[in-house]
Amino acid sequence: MTRILSIIGVSLCIAMLSPVLQAANLKTLDVAALPGDRIELKLAFDAPVPAPRGYTTSQPARIALDLPGVTSQLATKSRDLGSGNARSVVVVQAQDRTRVIINLTTLSPYSSRVDGNNLFVVIGQGAGAAQASQPTTAMGAQRVAVPP
């Protein structure tokens, strides 16, 4: 009997530590135009989010960020950005991750950083290499309305 209770206890502990049960949910995506033809995306989650794993493609020009253990709760999968080099963003969910794809006119450098329950992605010259630890500033940011 104690063996069965031990097995049940261990199973419950494993289930509680499962990343699927503790996954962050993507709640909102905000866009801000920055000086110097840069754009900042702010992705807000309901829990801390791990640093994204990203890559770029040149044909077509895209930035793709994988967010393991994240579920998208956005109302739409695709949004037109219409600001600077960034044309649109598409958020898709597959198995145990959410992928954020930023469609560009031409390939540009980007940087990303996690700040609590938020992920900031800055695209454009002066954004630096793709590094989660590189700080970015939103001083002088101009908000751009993006319909839901």
pLDDT tens string for the chain (148 positions)?
666 656 665 555 554 444 445 589 999 999 999 988 899 999 999 999 988 999 999 999 999 999 999 999 999 999 998 777 889 999 999 888 999 999 999 999 999 999 999 999 999 876 554 443 333 333 333 344 444 4
What CATH number does residue 69 fall under? Answer: 2.60.40.3500
In a domain, 4, yes or no: no
Number of domains the chain contains: 1
Does 125 map to a domain?
yes
In a domain, 15, yes or no: no
Helical (H) or strand (E) element with 98: strand 97-104
5 sits in the region (left: phi over 0; alpha: psi -120 to 50; else beta) called alpha
pTM listed for this prediction: 0.71
Q: What is the pLDDT of residue 66?
A: 96
pLDDT at 18: 47
Which pLDDT score is estimated for 104? 94
Strands 38-45 and 118-123: antiparallel
- Enumerate the β-bridge partners of residue 62: 57, 103
Asked if residue 10 is part of any domain, the answer here is: no
* Cα-based distances in Å from 3 to 6, 10, 14, 16, 126: 5, 11, 17, 20, 60
Residue 44 domain-assigned (yes or no): yes
8 within domain boundaries: no
63 found inside a domain:
yes
Strands 142-143 and 118-123: unpaired
| Predicted local confidence at residue 87, as pLDDT | 92
Dihedral sign for Cα 62, 48, 93, 67, please. positive
Given this model, what pLDDT does residue 82 score?
Answer: 78
Sorted by sequence, the CB contacts under 8 Å of residue 49 that are 6+ apart come out as 24, 43, 67, 70, 114, 117, 118, 119
Assess contact for 45 and 70: CB atoms under 8 A: yes
Cβ neighbours, 10 Å, residue 99: 18
Query: What six digits make up the tokens of 14?
Result: 């494993």
**Containing domain of residue 136, as a range?**
23-143
